[in-house]
Every structure is written in structure tokens, then in C-alpha cells.
Structure 1
Amino acid sequence: MDFLIGLLQAILQTALSPITAAFVLAAIGLNIHFGFTGLMNMGQAGFMLVGGYGFVISVMGGLGFFPSILISMLAAALFALLLGIPTLKLRGDYLAIVTIGAAEIIRMTARLANLSPITGGPSGIQSPQFREEFNALSPLPEGRTSFLSLDYVNTGVDDWWSRIVAWGLVILFLIVTWLLMRSPWGRVLKGIREDEDAVRSLGKNTFSYKMQALMIGGVMGGFGGIIMAFPAAINPDGMGRATTFNLWMIMLLGGAATILGPLLGSILFFVVRLVITSVAGEFVPDSILNAQQTEIVSWILIGLMLMLLVIFRPQGILGNKKELSFNV
């Protein structure tokens, strides 16, 4: 019974974690790219790095919190512009190749020892160095607060303020995405995804629409990078190829081209991993599986579950099979 209670509490902590919210934000952006527009962006982690570092470096340079947010958004939008100009007139696989390479270029550049005074190099930048501006905005009183068996400081490193802002952004971006996809602009994006030539024949500038979608989804990914940096640090290796892979898994799990798919997929992704490792750690002896091996097994099982999901329910948990006609 104690194990079950502890597991339920750990699940709640994971579901409300800022890291989970950061992945939801980045997955919403990826869903705009692929789910609604059909753009094969395989480098969403690159947008997270650009947005995150744009914010962190600006704050540490003394620009203030809100100007730094603007710099982060502009950096992510510029990154999308540089990626999109040479590739968006081509088919989706070319965009996939370019985005993978571009994200790796950003990651390896941030790791350069010569840039350590700016980016922190391979070790990154610890959050206490750039959180002061964020913490100063907190309206919460000093001290700790308990809620639903969760107990955190109101404002600090692992705090309620970060969670409120992170999940507030998730709600905001979900509403924005819902409104955009119900608008004529969103319907054009879906038309491009299903048959770009038909949309072009109606006189629509499909290149412009795809560029707008790439920039909007990239900015959302940048916000995911900012939120991901708050709990501990911004680190180039923390937003690498594995992060993009996890984002694709989250989007496909929840359902591409759905509003709530990224939210459900992200929570399930982290909770399933937690349940697998917790149950194995509790009931499987170390002589059979130690902690490191359990972590590896959890990834294997998640991969198998994703394969089964794609085979038997390719639209994801919330998806609609009619939304799977991608012109890529």
C-alpha cells in the first residue's frame, strides 16, 4: 500500500512537472509543423535550444525578462526563416534532412569550448544565474505551500511559480492552436497537408503559409526550451536528437493533428516511464535488473508500445484516421 501511495504521488509530481510542460509546449509546435501542415521537422530540439539560449543569454546580458522573451521569440523565428527559405519549396524529406543537420549544428556550436563564456560550453548554464528576473515577477508569498500531497516552495528553483507559468503557457498555446486551426488560415494549412497542389491552384501562396507555420511552431518550441531550462540548467546535450525523437513519440502517442494530443502524449510518456522504472525497482531484484538496466528496459518497452500503437492505431489515442493523409 505504501508503494502504491508513493507511486501515485510520484505520478502526480511528474504530470505537473515543468519538464513535462516544456515537452508539451515543444510538441504543440511540432504538431503545427507536421500534424496540421505536413512539414517533416526532425529538429524541433534545435528550436528549443535557440529559444532557450536566446532568453538565457539576453537575461544574463542585462536586457530584462520581457525583452529577453522577445529576443527568444525573434531568434526562433529567424531560425525558422533560415531553414525554410531553401527547403520549403521542396518535398518534406528535404526539410527533414535540413532540420536534423541544423539542430545538430546549433547543439555542437553551443558545446564549443571557445563559446563557454557565452553558452557555458558542454556544461551549459545553471539556472540560478538567470532565474532572478523570473523569480522577481512571482506574486506568491514567501514560504512553502502544500496542495494535493505536493509540497514545494512558492518561489525558488523547484517551486510552484515555475509550474504555474509553465502550465499557464500550455493552456495559452492550446487555446491559440485551437483558434488558429478553426480559422481560414488553419484550414489552408490542412489543405496544404492533404494536397498542396490543389491549394496552390486556388491561388494561395503555399510557401508563405508553410513559412508562417514553421515560424509559429518554432517559437512555441523556443518557449519549451525556456521552460525546460528553469528547473536546473540549459544544456546543449539536454536538447539533442533524443529530445526530438521523444517529441515525435509524444505527438504520435497523443495523436497528430489534434489539439490535446501533445498534452496527453507528454503526460503518458513520462508517467509510463515512471511506472515501469518504479515497478521494476520495487519488485525485480537488483541481481536481475539494476537501476541502469531498468532505465534501458523502460525505453525498450516504450519503443515497443509505440511500434504497436503505430501498427494498430496509427492516428494515436485522440487522432482521427481521416487526418492521416499527409502530402509529404
Structure 2
Amino acid sequence: MMFWTNLLESILQTALSPVTAAFAIAAIGLNVHFGFTGLMNMGQAGFMLVGGYGFVISVMSGLGLVPALIISILASMLFALVLGIPTLKLRGDYLAIVTIGAAEILRMVARLANLTPITGGPSGIQSPNFREEFNALSFLPEGRTTFLGMTYSNVGVDDWWSRIVAWVLVALFILITWLLMRSPWGRVLKGIREDEDAMRSLGKNTFSYKMQALMIGGVMGGFGGIIMALPASINPDGMGRPTTFNLWMIMLLGGAATILGPLLGAILFFVLRLIITSFASEFVPATVLNSQQTEQLSWVLIGVMLMLLVIFRPQGILGNKKELSFNV
């Protein structure tokens, strides 16, 4: 009985974690890129890194929270511009190769030992160095609060304030995406996804629309990087290829070209990993599977489940087969 109680508490904690929210936000941005526009962006982690470091370095330079957010947004937009101008005429695998290469270049630059005074190098930057102004905005009293069986500090490193801000941003970006995709602009994006040549024949500047979508989704990715950094630290290796692949898993699991798909996918992704590792730790002897092997097993099983999902329900849990026409 204790196992099941602890498991339910852990599931709730994982579902409401700021890291889950960060991945949901970045996946919403990726959904704008691929799900609604058909851009095969395999470098969303690069936008997270640019946005996150833009915010962290600006705060540590003493610019203040609001200027730091503006710089983070501008940095994400600039990266989208630099990345998009030479590449948005590419399609499918070619665009994927370029975007993942660009994200890896950014990661390796952030890891440079020569930039350690600025980026922290391979070790990154710990959140206490840039959280003070964020904590100062909290309207919560000092102390600890228990809610739904979860007890955290109201303000601190692992706190309720971070969770409130993170999930408010998730709700905000879901609303923005819903409004955009119901607008004429959003319908043009879907048209580009399904048949770019047809949209071009109607007089639409498809390059401009794709650039706008890349910027908007990139800014969302940048905010995902900020939220991911707040609980503990920002680290270049924490925003590498595996992060992008996980974002794709989250988007496909919940359903590409859906509004709530990235949210559902992010929660299920982290909860499924937790359930697999918890059951393996509880019922499989340590002589058979140690903790490291259990972690590896969770990735294997999630990969198998994703393969089965793509084979038998390619539109994802919330997706619609009518939304699966991509001009890539």
C-alpha cells in the first residue's frame, strides 16, 4: 500500500514539475514549427539554449528581469533569423540536418572553456546566481506550503513560485497557439504545411510565413529554456540532441498539429518514465537490474511504445489523421 501511495505522490510531483512545464512549452513551439507549418526542425534545443542563456547572462549582468526577458526573446528571434534565411528553402531531411547542426554548434560554443566566465563552460551556471530577482517577484509568503500532498518552499530553488510561473506560461502559450491557429495567419501556415506550391500560387509569401512561424516557435523554445534553468541550473549539455529528440517524442505522443498535444505528451512522457523506473525498482531485484540499468530500461520501453504509437496511431493520442498531410 505504501508503494502505491508513494507512486501516486511521485506521479503528481512529476506532472507538476517545472521541468515538465519547460518541455511542454518547448514542445508547443516545436508544434508550431512542425505540426502546423511542416518545418522539420531538429534543433529546438538550440532555441532553448539561446533563450535560457540570454536570460541568465542578462540577469547576472545586472540588467534586471524585464530587460533580461526582452533580450532572451530577441536572442531567440535572432537565432531564428540567422538560421532561417539560408535554410527555410530547404525541405524535409535537409532542413533537419541543418537545424540539428546549428543547435550543436551553439552547444559546443557554450561549452568552450574560454567562455567559462560568461557561460560557465561545461559546468553551466547554478540557479542561485540568477534567481534572486525572480524570487523577489513572488507574492507568496515565506515558509513552506502543502498542497495535494506535496510540500515545497513557497520561494526558493525547488518551490511553488517556480511551478506557478511555469504552468501559467504553459497556459498562456497554449492560448496564444490556439488563437493564432484559428486566425487567417494560422490557416496559411496549415496550407503551407499541406502544399506550399499551392499557397505560393495564391500569392502568399511562404518564406515570410515560415520565418514568422520559426521565430514564434523559437521564442517559445527560449522560454522553455528559461523555465528549465530556474529549478537548478543552466547547462549546455542539458540542451543538446537528446533534449530535441525528447521534444519530438513528446509532440508525437500527444499529437502533432493539436493544441493540447504537447501538454499531454510532456506529462505522459515524464510520468511513464517514472512508472517504469518505480515498478522496476520495486519488483525487480537489484541483482537483475541496478538503478542505472533501470533508467536505461525506461528509455528502451518508451522508445518501443513510441514506435508502436507511430505504427498504429501515427496522429498521436489527440491527433487527427486529416492533419497529417505534410509537404516535406
Q: TM-score, normalised to structure 1's length?
A: 1.00
Query: Which residue is 2:160 aligned to?
Result: 160
**Partners of 2:105 and 2:116 in 1: CA distance:** 16
**Partners of 1:303 and 1:56 in 2: CA distance:** 33
Q: CA deviation at 1:93?
A: 2.4
Unmatched segments (≥5 aa) in structure 1? none
Query: Which residue is 2:234 aligned to?
Result: 234
- In percent, how many aligned pairs have the same letter? 84
Q: CA deviation at 1:91?
A: 1.8
Query: Which residue is 1:279 aligned to?
Result: 279
Query: Which residue is 2:296 aligned to?
Result: 296
Report the aligned-residue RMSD.
0.5
- Range with greater deviation from structure 2 (87-96 or 171-180): 87-96
Query: What letter is aligned with 1:3?
Result: F
Query: Which residue is 2:146 aligned to?
Result: 146
**Partners of 2:253 and 2:30 in 1: CA distance:** 13
Contact 2:40 2:91 in 1 (8 A): no
1:246 aligns with 2:246: yes
* Stretches of 4+ aligned residues off by more than 3 angstroms: none
Q: CA deviation at 1:2?
A: 0.5
Contact 2:88 2:210 in 1 (8 A): yes
**Partners of 1:92 and 1:61 in 2: CA distance:** 40
User: 1:165 is paired with a residue of what secondary structure?
Assistant: helix
**Partners of 1:39 and 1:273 in 2: CA distance:** 28
Query: What letter is aligned with 2:117?
Result: P
Query: Which residue is 1:186 aligned to?
Result: 186
**Partners of 2:212 and 2:95 in 1: CA distance:** 15
Contact 2:80 2:214 in 1 (8 A): yes
Q: CA deviation at 1:90?
A: 2.3
Query: Which residue is 2:93 aligned to?
Result: 93
Q: CA deviation at 1:89?
A: 1.7
User: 1:142 is paired with a residue of what secondary structure?
Assistant: coil
Query: What letter is aligned with 1:294?
Result: T
User: 2:152 is paired with a residue of what secondary structure?
Assistant: strand
**Partners of 2:232 and 2:142 in 1: CA distance:** 20
Contact 2:256 2:315 in 1 (8 A): yes
Q: CA deviation at 1:237?
A: 0.3
**Partners of 2:315 and 2:89 in 1: CA distance:** 27
Query: Which residue is 2:40 aligned to?
Result: 40
**Partners of 2:96 and 2:191 in 1: CA distance:** 20
**Partners of 2:209 and 2:94 in 1: CA distance:** 18
Q: CA deviation at 1:98?
A: 1.1
1:203 aligns with 2:203: yes
Equivalenced residues, count = 328
User: 2:145 is paired with a residue of what secondary structure?
Assistant: strand
Query: What letter is aligned with 2:238?
Result: G
1:294-326 deviation per Cα after TM superposition (whole angstroms, max 9, x unaligned):
000100000000000000000000000011110
**Partners of 1:273 and 1:135 in 2: CA distance:** 30
Unmatched segments (≥5 aa) in structure 2? none
Q: TM-score, normalised to structure 2's length?
A: 1.00
Query: Which residue is 1:52 aligned to?
Result: 52
Query: Which residue is 1:81 aligned to?
Result: 81
Contact 2:38 2:193 in 1 (8 A): yes
User: 1:185 is paired with a residue of what secondary structure?
Assistant: helix
Query: Which residue is 1:117 aligned to?
Result: 117
1:212-268 deviation per Cα after TM superposition (whole angstroms, max 9, x unaligned):
000000000000000000010000000100000000000000000000000000000
Q: CA deviation at 1:92?
A: 2.9
**Partners of 1:280 and 1:98 in 2: CA distance:** 39
User: 2:281 is paired with a residue of what secondary structure?
Assistant: helix
Query: What letter is aligned with 2:53?
Result: Y
1:17 aligns with 2:17: yes
**Partners of 2:272 and 2:94 in 1: CA distance:** 33
Q: CA deviation at 1:95?
A: 1.7
**Partners of 2:91 and 2:111 in 1: CA distance:** 31
Query: What letter is aligned with 2:320?
Result: N
